A and B are shown apart, each in its own frame.
Chain A
Amino acid sequence: MKVYFFATCLGSIAYSNTCINAIKLLQKEGIEVIFKKDQTCCGQPSYNSGYYEDTKQVALHNINLFNEPYPIIVPSGSCAGMMRVDYLELFENDGNYSMVKDFSSRVFELSEFLLKELKVRYTDTGEKIKATWHSNCHALRVTKSIEYSKALIRQLKNVELIELDKEEECCGFGGTFSIKEPQVSKAMVHDKINDIKSKGVDYVISGDAGCLMNISGAMDKMGVDVKGIHLYDFIAQRINLV
């Protein structure tokens, strides 16, 4: 089986190891991965700021690029939601709608694909640890892929998953939101970190590079001794894929 891999903009700029681990997780299941070198960004930055025409151009770039009928696998619930759900809204009443719909129906968040389509079973080889999980808002409410991500973590028998009190609350990233409203964003990420701190865990795991960059960056600045880690780096580590 062949699939396209969409690395996302943050994946290619700040999380290349995560993308490599994500690809390895697919290869481990016998999947052949196609990496289109002309891939860019899903278009969320302009979309969320209301620049719909610019965003349509970016979306069409992706749609034309991933044109073969292969599944498009995204290691981020946020970008997957943009390409699967928001593109449809963006192209409502547009002549390209049916083409967009075909594209969107092929988009999967990686954990969803691993569990639902490939039915993976993981054997944990790591030490006993405690970890908590932050749900990315877009993955939770738009892509609806969070349950798959958490189900993958629950397969790891030496990982005690301790849930946050406010797991479903935004961490304050929100893409351009964190730049446009830095003070509000700061208050939000500090609340998130207080919740994380209260759990006495070794790791906070998230399936989204944006949230992770936000939470880890703020924890680092605050000197909090919890390690922020991407879901696919975490799994790869636990099953000895790295």
Chain B
Amino acid sequence: MSNFHSKEQYEEIINQKLNDNQLRKNLQSVMQTLKTNRKNTIAARYTDWEALRELGRRVKQNTLANLPTLLEIFEKNAIKNGFKVHWASNAKDANEIILSLMQKKSQNIILKGKSMASEEIHLNAYLKENGISAVETDLGELIIQLIDEPPVHIVAPAIHKNRYEIGNIFKEKLNAPLESEPEKLNNIARDHLRKEFKDFKIGLSGVNFAIANEGAIWLVENEGNGRMSTTACDIHIAICGIEKVIESFEDASILDLLLVPSATGANITCYNNIIRSPRKEGELDGPKEVHIILLDNNRSKILADKHYYRALSCIRCGTCLNHCPVYDKIGGHAYLSTYPGPIGEVISPQLFGLDNCSPMLNLCSLCERCSQVCPVKIPLASLIRDLRSEKAGEGRGGVLGYSNTHRSKIEKQSFMIFRNLATSGLKWRLLIYQVRIFGGFGKIFGNMIPGLKNWLSCRSYPKLDATLHSKVKQLKGVIYE
């Protein structure tokens, strides 16, 4: 599956999403609810959220500084606990590991709890090509699987659909009666999934925290199907990005306290599944085998960069998406990547290649709201700006796909001219003078000048009043020098 998307493809999908009024309405209303819930919970339940954020930042920074060692400790302890640990350096490796496990057990169906890592490696499509069906059991994932769409959001994959639309999807795809009440919709999904859960042999999940000192994995969820996918099967496969490994339960608790309110505005999730081993001798239930796949997929390349490594602190709460004034206008699909929104702009080019997805770096006004709300204080806006410098050919040059990235000569020249003017007082004053003399022509020719044309698409022509210098000179008491 190609990760490349052209500037034109981006433009097309962005315009399509902007013109989808229902989508705009759904996104705006849900994002507003998520933002408000988060704010209220933090105000009511947390005495010092900012200090907790700082603690979370430090936990992740220390972990990342020590990641190779912690990965080894995790592997050792996980094996001791009876887990089988696999290393996947890329998407292909991870997919092949899962396929070979399925084949070894002669199974052609796998039930999935929610996992963004599985989306990142396009597992469902890969398994389908090999005759295996992957069934999503997370409610949101189920909805989008029924309409063959990727997740629109990293936490809430079907957040772009309202309950009436979901009712229609269930009616059409599951032959269910038309409903729109959340409880009834839930019951439809429940009945449908219970059939799938009956007699299933292999379940797949993601991982929220992999605890090195304990060799345990911690999964956070709200619906219970994650617990079904990981406990009611014979074999559980957990796919885990290497950055999810942390040192201790204490660290995991700190991150969990930050994760949940950031993600949904709740202060605790319905389910915290901490898995320490497969079924032991004499135990009556639980999977007989648990496989943990540690996925790199260019993460170690990110870890090696002195600034970008901080993006690996991400605990996938999605709050940067919820607070992004661009995301709530266009939705996640318009980013043409598994990971949308601010964190998506930071990690997608690094995971999938700057040459493949650089147009998404424009989808940010650098308002910095994401950096302000990130629970582990990733400087998202600064990193987006840094990646723009990679795109301009002025970064540190280590980003995946750096040398193949298309660079706009016109843009480069424009900024050279800008620099030339802005470093000379004389040239700058001449520029202002020209604006003063010719500015009026913009009203007539504005629609022929590319930048101005874009500006005028929804705004009146600005009043150009380039007379500051003469006014200052006439002002009494000012030292004009």
Residues on A facing B (Cβ under 8 Å)? 2, 5, 7, 9, 11-17, 19-20, 23-24, 27, 32-41, 43, 45-55, 57-58, 60-61, 65, 89, 137-138, 141-142, 168-170, 172-175, 177-191, 213-214, 217-218, 220-221
Cβ contact within 8 Å between A184 and B418: no
Cβ contact within 8 Å between B14 and A184: yes
Residues of B within 8 A of A51 (CB): 389, 392, 394, 412, 415, 419
Interface membership of chain B positions 105-145, coded 1 if the CB is closer than 8 angstroms to chain A and 0 otherwise: 00000000000000000000000000000000000000000
Residues of A within 8 A of B385 (CB): 47-48, 50
CB distance from A26 to the nearest CB of B (A): 10
24 contacts between A and B (CB under 8 A): A13-B464, A20-B468, A33-B479, A34-B481, A37-B429, A39-B425, A40-B421, A41-B428, A50-B390, A50-B394, A51-B392, A55-B419, A57-B423, A58-B423, A61-B424, A141-B369, A172-B325, A172-B365, A177-B366, A182-B457, A184-B14, A186-B457, A189-B458, A218-B459
With A19-B468, A177-B366, A184-B14 as known contacts, state yes or no: A190 contacts B422, CB within 8 Å.
no
- 3 closest A-B pairs by beta carbon, nearest first, are A38-B425, A174-B365, A50-B388
Cβ contact within 8 Å between A137 and B368: yes
Residues of A within 8 A of B435 (CB): 13
Cβ contact within 8 Å between B479 and A34: yes
Interface membership of chain B positions 427-471, coded 1 if the CB is closer than 8 angstroms to chain A and 0 otherwise: 011001001000000000000000100110111111111111101
Residues on B facing A (Cβ under 8 Å)? 14-15, 18, 24, 28, 325-326, 329-330, 362-369, 371-372, 382, 385-392, 394-395, 411-412, 415-416, 418-419, 421-426, 428-429, 432, 435, 451, 454-455, 457-469, 471-472, 475, 477-481
Q: Once bound together, how far apart are the Cα atoms of A186 and B453, in whole Å?
A: 13
Cβ contact within 8 Å between B422 and A61: yes
Of chain B, the residue at the smallest CB distance from A181 is: B362
- A-B contact number at CB 8 A: 217
With A173-B365, A177-B365 as known contacts, state yes or no: A14 contacts B463, CB within 8 Å.
yes
Of chain B, the residue at the smallest CB distance from A212 is: B462
Cβ contact within 8 Å between A11 and B477: no
Residue in A7, A15, A47, A182 whose CB lies within 8 Å of B455 = A182
Q: Once bound together, how far apart are the Cα atoms of A56 and B466, in whole Å?
A: 26
CB distance from B362 to the nearest CB of A (A): 5
Question: Which of B387, B423, B426, B428 gathers the greatest number of chain A CB atoms within 10 Å?
Answer: B423
Known A174-B364, A174-B367, A182-B455; further 18 A-B contacts with Cβ < 8 A = A9-B422, A16-B468, A16-B471, A23-B472, A32-B479, A38-B426, A47-B385, A50-B388, A51-B419, A61-B423, A137-B367, A138-B368, A174-B365, A183-B18, A187-B18, A188-B326, A189-B458, A217-B461
Residues of A within 8 A of B421 (CB): 40
Of chain A, the residue at the smallest CB distance from B421 is: A40
Of chain B, the residue at the smallest CB distance from A34 is: B479
Q: Once bound together, how far apart are the Cα atoms of A185 and B362, in whole Å?
A: 11
Residues of A within 8 A of B362 (CB): 177, 180-181
CB distance from A190 to the nearest CB of B (A): 7
Cβ contact within 8 Å between A33 and B454: no
CB distance from A50 to the nearest CB of B (A): 3
Cβ contact within 8 Å between B326 and A49: no
Secondary structure class of chain A's binding surface, majority of residues: helix
Cβ contact within 8 Å between B363 and A181: yes
Residues of A within 8 A of B15 (CB): 183
Q: Once bound together, how far apart are the Cα atoms of A38 and B464, in whole Å?
A: 20
Residues of B within 8 A of A168 (CB): 369
CB distance from A159 to the nearest CB of B (A): 24
Cβ contact within 8 Å between A12 and B432: yes
Q: Once bound together, how far apart are the Cα atoms of A168 and B390, in whole Å?
A: 29
CB distance from B458 to the nearest CB of A (A): 4
With A37-B429, A50-B385, A217-B460 as known contacts, state yes or no: A16 contacts B465, CB within 8 Å.
yes
CB distance from B460 to the nearest CB of A (A): 4
With A34-B479, A58-B419 as known contacts, state yes or no: A213 contacts B462, CB within 8 Å.
yes
Of chain A, the residue at the smallest CB distance from B423 is: A61
Residue in B365, B419, B454, B466 whose CB lies within 8 Å of A57 = B419
Question: Which of A65, A181, A185 gathers the greatest number of chain B CB atoms within 10 Å?
Answer: A181
Of chain B, the residue at the smallest CB distance from A165 is: B32
Residue in A17, A35, A54, A181 whose CB lies within 8 Å of B415 = A54
Of chain B, the residue at the smallest CB distance from A177 is: B365
CB distance from A101 to the nearest CB of B (A): 18
Cβ contact within 8 Å between B458 and A182: yes
Cβ contact within 8 Å between B422 and A35: no
Q: Once bound together, how far apart are the Cα atoms of A50 and B411, in whole Å?
A: 11
Residues of A within 8 A of B325 (CB): 169-170, 172, 188, 191
With A46-B419, A50-B395, A184-B14 as known contacts, state yes or no: A35 contacts B329, CB within 8 Å.
no
Cβ contact within 8 Å between B390 and A142: no
Q: Once bound together, how far apart are the Cα atoms of A168 and B372, in whole Å?
A: 11
Q: Once bound together, how far apart are the Cα atoms of A175 and B415, in whole Å?
A: 14
Of chain B, the residue at the smallest CB distance from A2 is: B479
Q: Once bound together, how far apart are the Cα atoms of A24 and B475, in whole Å?
A: 9
Of chain B, the residue at the smallest CB distance from A217 is: B459
Q: Once bound together, how far apart are the Cα atoms of A31 and B421, in whole Å?
A: 31
Question: Which of B432, B462, B467 gathers the greatest number of chain A CB atoms within 10 Å?
Answer: B462
Cβ contact within 8 Å between B394 and A52: yes
CB distance from B475 to the nearest CB of A (A): 6
Residues of B within 8 A of A89 (CB): 382
Q: Once bound together, how far apart are the Cα atoms of A91 and B18, in whole Å?
A: 38
Cβ contact within 8 Å between B422 and A58: yes
Cβ contact within 8 Å between B467 and A16: yes
CB distance from B457 to the nearest CB of A (A): 5
Cβ contact within 8 Å between B390 and A40: no
Q: Once bound together, how far apart are the Cα atoms of A12 and B463, in whole Å?
A: 12
Residues of B within 8 A of A214 (CB): 459
